[in-house]
Amino acid sequence: MTGALRSSARDIARAVNARDVSAAEMAEAMIPHVAQADSALGAYLTLTPELMREHAAHVDARIAAGEKLPLAGVPVAIKDNMCLRTTRTTCGSKILEKWIAPYTGTAVARLLAAGGLPIGKTNMDEFAMGSSCENSALGVTRNPYDLDRVPGGSSGGSAAAVGGFEATISLGSDTGGSIREPAAFCNVVGFKPTYGRVSRYGLIAFASSLDQIGPFARTVEDAALAYDAIGGHDPMDATSLDRPLESTADGLRTDLRGLRIGIVKEFATDGLGAQIDACYKAAYADLEKLGAELVEVELPTAKYGLATYYLIAPAECSSNLARFDGVRYGLRVDAADVGEMYEQTRAQGFGPEVKRRILIGTYALSSGYYDAYYVKAQKARTAIADDFNRAFAKCDVIASPAASSPAFGFNAKSDPVAMYLMDYYTIPVSLAGLPSLSVPCGAVVPEGGTRPMPMGLQLASPLFTERLLLGTAHAYEQATQHAVKLSPVAGAAK
Amino acid sequence: MSIADAPAPLTPEIRAKYETVIGIECHVELKTASKMFCGCPNVFGGEPNTHVCPVCLALPGSLPVPNKKAIEHMIRAGLAFNCAIPSFSKFDRKNYFYPDMPKDYQISQYDMPLTQGGVVRYWLDDGTIRECRLTRIHLEEDTGKSTHAGSGDGRIAGSTYSLVDFNRAGVPLMECVSDPDIRSADEAVGFLDALKRTFVQLGVSDVKMEEGSLRCDANVSVRLHGAPEYGTKTEIKNMNSFRSVHRAIESEIERQIVAIESGARIVQETRGWDEAAGTTHSMRSKEQAHDYRYFPDPDLVPMEIAPAMVDAIRATLPELPIARYERYVNAHQFAVAQATQLIENVSLADYFDRAVAIAKNPAGVLNYLLGDLSRLANENGVNVADSKVTPEALAELLTLIDAKTINSRIAKDVLDRLWKDGGSPKAVVEKEGLAQVSDPSAVAGFVDEVLAANEKSVADFKAGKENALKFLVGQVMKVSRGKANPGLVESVLRERMQ
């Protein structure tokens, strides 16, 4: 059975649907494996063995009744900002450390209805604010390819779980790069669909106009399978797109003939160091070898992405996080009056990065500053989206780095702005709402490091072209096979 | 305080120097099946925290989805007052912390409300018609309710803990803001009456002030007549009936004039109305005002209002109270109080209009409606409109009276029968043989019978006692069991006794 733990979701589902192996057997193999392996990795904040067994029994019963499920018996992990009924849902924060969700969010419910078996809830930067998982108030997650390095963030636990073979598929959320950057760090595929493709109902909001749920997987095809299961319109989310979802997992393309791939002039990699530069130049050359035509495109406003994002996202978060006030749920620090209760609860419940962003956002929305900051940022956001539209007149898919570097060591980015810069390439894509993913594209030995660390290639495509995007990544992955060239380190899961 | 320090008494002469300027802001809960952004029932009361779900409790991860019916209600209300309905509108977040507001922001509308401008026309008790312009009507969500315990009197001061009921949280609420066009407490109440009647008529709200489905604040200032600028205004809150609105405004006008006359300045502030004390008191000054940090709600997409939708709603607008009022007063010559009484009860006014359309006798219909029918309705605890007496039946009854087929004495009996059993008055009259007897020979028969039995009265009449005739008419009516035509009876009696 341990072999099955390294299998793809496609193969597991095929075997479980064929009744070669039962979902219950998958669960019983996975439960002790994760309990043991995760002590080194720390991918999970909460394990849910009973729930996993319950779902396994349910899946087996459905298959016995003749159903075929696309993710039958596939062990899945869920980022801890998504509600799962009867389960602790913390957002990596002290303020929700003991909160048990009384309902299940749409994407999670769909993943489980497709046959997924929930292993547990994964660690994350508090309220999804961060790029290393170090902002979690509840635990440390380590990179499965070097335990002294971070897994990336904010969906670091979900990326590490899949990269370290502690889950076959996991769900993350991406606001400015929180799926794509940790995917790059952990040698997995991380996919952020078009904004509005996956319901946000049950996803604890960071920045509502940017947050999007997406899957992590070890193959593009598995990511596509998961996306097909969770995507589509949801009447519980007013921003969810009410347009048909085309299936992506079947018949993914294996060559890139006839495709024009845009290389962004402003995202030149020669300043990132010789090794990294060589890695991306090789990746672009591989795309060309597969039949694509490389074209240079310009995104002149992309350089304003970070500044724009760090006004819009904090503004929304300052309002979204107001509800954590100690009145109805979560941490409450008792005090003499309600005003002091709010202050003490939030002072003790939120960590420094969350507080920093609430302060920035509150300031940006304040009377007298709103036009200069929030309104201007919205205009910049439109300009950035327009730049992408112009670029897509010249190309079908844009390729770029997923992150500015491979995984870094703990405490390496103590300056918040240095941390923010990790998302330089992913943020403009998020502001434009585009579908985007990171696919493994090789490895480099970081400065001061001893082992080669995985690198990620970001691909982005026009709104609603998930099938084109996943097909491009699949062709590249099948031709290069970068992911399987690396193995997790001793101590992490085997 | 010595006598010399006491403010000068407010004489009618001093008061007459000042003009009052009032603007009203009122919140009206919309009548919908479910709440504004979730599927919980929109009903008053219930055990605390039983009409709640993840969305209206603002549980982490929950999202709002707008109620289409509430948006339609807003457009209906806006069209009734000739507001402009923009083709584009959106929801904004109004950010502030309050324990009974679950998200610690309220979904509201800031710079692009669903309706803009418009005019409310209304009448006063003396029949004058007034107009007050509207600034806007916007859509938002209601909050929960806090109860403070441990202080003995339910006040927050001295309480040891508070309880919050979220049943009301998320109920759709429209906020109507008027221009400062109102000039007296009477006008303020007239304006509010007009809003109330119109919203009830449109079916957009029940407008029950006692259940809190209408709550209003008044911005009040005074200035010398002819002054170019408005005086400094205060905002009066905590008025929970139209009567307290009237009293609070009167009290505030007096307070402001007395202050100005004694040389003090009015401070711009929020003042609470104290019903028991009959005065307003300072709650917070402008300096303590919140910065609500409004911004467009990213959980909700902007609304595009299709002109076809607006036209469809416009086509279903009923006749509005002010139009009805003018019709009753101008076409039917009703007194203000009668017209108002009818319009106050939409089903009664509808009933009236249906009956008048057939009977063509507005005064007669009104007389029965506010008289005998209302009496029967009160006695039986039933609405006239829900009774067995249909407007068509009442119209038929009036036609029978007007054609002198029956007299009013018989009509009363017929109405009693209709109230019990329903049906057609004509059929009742025919079946019971209640038609008025106007045949002279038949009447003469009754007359002769009575004359024979009342020789003394005949003698009295002949001796010049006119009262004897009245007695004899009564006797004939009795013998004919009320059916004889009373005019004919009198003339036959006079003829026979000559």
* Residues making up chain B, counted from first to last: 498
Closest partner residue to A366 among B65, B93, B291, by Cβ?
Answer: B291
Enumerate helices (H) and strands (E) in chain A, giving the number of each.
17, 11
Predicted confidence (pLDDT) at residue A296 exceeds the cutoff of 50: yes
Burial status of residue A491 (CB atoms within 10 A of its CB: 0-12, 13-18, 19 or more): middle
Predicted confidence (pLDDT) at residue B3 exceeds the cutoff of 90: no
| Cβ distance of B58 and A323 shorter than 8 Å | yes
Residue to substitute from B94, B103, B145, B295, interface A, most A β-carbons within 10 A:
B295
Q: Helix crossing, A23-41 with A9-17: angle to 10°?
A: 150
| Cβ distance of A238 and B99 shorter than 8 Å | no
Distance CA B223, CA B231 (A): 5
Distance CA A354, CA A94 (A): 12
User: Mean pLDDT of all residues in chain B?
Assistant: 92
Give the amino acid at B310: V
Q: How confident is the model at residue A2 (pLDDT cuts 50, 70, 90)?
A: low
In chain A, which residues have their Cβ closer than 8 Å to the Cβ of B97? 322, 325, 342
- What stretch(es) of chain B map to CATH 1.10.10.410? 440-496
Q: How confident is the model at residue A36 (pLDDT cuts 50, 70, 90)?
A: very high
Hey, what CATH class is B440-496 in?
A: mainly alpha
Residue to substitute from A323, A324, A365, A369, interface B, most B β-carbons within 10 A:
A323
Q: Is the dihedral of CA B413, B414, B415, B416 positive or negative?
A: positive
Task: Please give the pLDDT value at position B4.
Answer: 47
Task: Pick the closest to residue A117 from A169, A79, A155, A80 (CA basis).
Answer: A169
| 3-state secondary structure (DSSP) of residue B190 | helix
Strands (E), B142-263: 145-149, 161-165, 172-178, 214-224, 234-239
B364: CB partners within 8 A, 6+ apart: B398, B401, B402
> Looking at residues B335-346, what average pLDDT do you find?
92
Task: Pick the closest to residue A397 from A301, A470, A302, A455 (CA basis).
Answer: A470
In chain B, which residues have their Cβ closer than 8 Å to the Cβ of A316? 298
pLDDT tens-digit readout, B280-299: 999 877 666 689 999 999 99
Scan for tokens 């007695």, then name that residue: B471
SS3 content of chain A, % helix, strand, coil (to 5): 45, 15, 40
Task: Pick the closest to residue B195 from B181, B219, B177 (CA basis).
Answer: B177
Distance CA B83, CA B138 (A): 11
DSSP H or E stretch at residue B20: strand B18-29
Closest partner residue to A323 among B103, B294, B300, by Cβ?
Answer: B103
Give the amino acid at A239: T
Provide the annotated active-site residues of A: 79, 154, 178
Task: Please give the pLDDT value at position A494.
Answer: 47
Task: Pick the closest to residue B186 from B117, B276, B239, B122 (CA basis).
Answer: B122
Query: Distances from the Cα of B212 to the Cαs of A327, B145, B163, B209, B408, in angstroms?
Result: 24, 11, 19, 5, 45
Give the amino acid at A31: I
DSSP string, A436-477: EEEEEEEEE--TT-SS-EEEEEEEE-STT-HHHHHHHHHHHH
Q: Which range among A93-97, A348-352, B368-372 shows the weakest confidence by mean pLDDT?
A: B368-372
Count how many Cα atoms sit within 13 Å of the Cα of residue A263 in the half-sphere of its side chain. Answer: 15
Task: Please give the pLDDT value at position A274.
Answer: 94
Give the rounded percent of residues in chain B with a pLDDT score beyond 70.
97
User: A169 is written with which tokens?
Assistant: 């598929």
Predicted confidence (pLDDT) at residue B1 exceeds the cutoff of 50: no
Scan for tokens 């402001």, then name that residue: B256
Distance CA A224, CA A195 (A): 16
B152: CB partners within 8 A, 6+ apart: B158
DSSP H or E stretch at residue A180: helix A180-185
* CB atoms inside a 10 Å sphere around CB B203: 13
Closest partner residue to A327 among B61, B99, B293, by Cβ?
Answer: B99
Predicted confidence (pLDDT) at residue B473 exceeds the cutoff of 80: yes
> Looking at residues A198-215, what average pLDDT do you find?
98
- How far B299 CA sits from the closest chain A CA (Å)? 6
Scan for tokens 């952990």, then name that residue: A186
Predicted confidence (pLDDT) at residue A62 exceeds the cutoff of 90: yes
* Residues 196-215 in A contacting B (C-alpha not used; CB under 8 Å): 200-205, 207-209
Task: Please give the pLDDT value at position B404.
Answer: 83
| Cβ distance of B61 and A101 shorter than 8 Å | yes
> Looking at residues B164-174, what average pLDDT do you find?
97
Task: Pick the closest to residue A201 from A103, A78, A106 (CA basis).
Answer: A106
In the sheet with A44-47, reading across from the earlier edge strand, the strands are: A44-47, A117-122, A75-79, A169-174, A212-217, A189-192, A436-444, A453-460, A397-401, A260-264, A293-297
DSSP H or E stretch at residue B285: strand B279-285
In chain A, which residues have their Cβ closer than 8 Å to the Cβ of B291? 366-367
CATH assignment of A2-258+396-485, among 3.40.50.1370, 3.90.1300.10, 1.10.1530.10, 3.40.50.2020: 3.90.1300.10
Task: Please give the pLDDT value at position B442.
Answer: 86
> Looking at residues B114-141, what average pLDDT do you find?
97
Whole-structure pTM value = 0.91
Task: Pick the closest to residue A14 from A67, A69, A54 (CA basis).
Answer: A69
Distance CA A85, CA A100 (A): 7
DSSP state of B34: B
Spatial contact of B493 and B472, defined as CB atoms under 8 Å apart = yes
In chain B, which residues have their Cβ closer than 8 Å to the Cβ of A362? 293
| 3-state secondary structure (DSSP) of residue B387 | coil
Q: How confident is the model at residue B480 (pLDDT cuts 50, 70, 90)?
A: confident
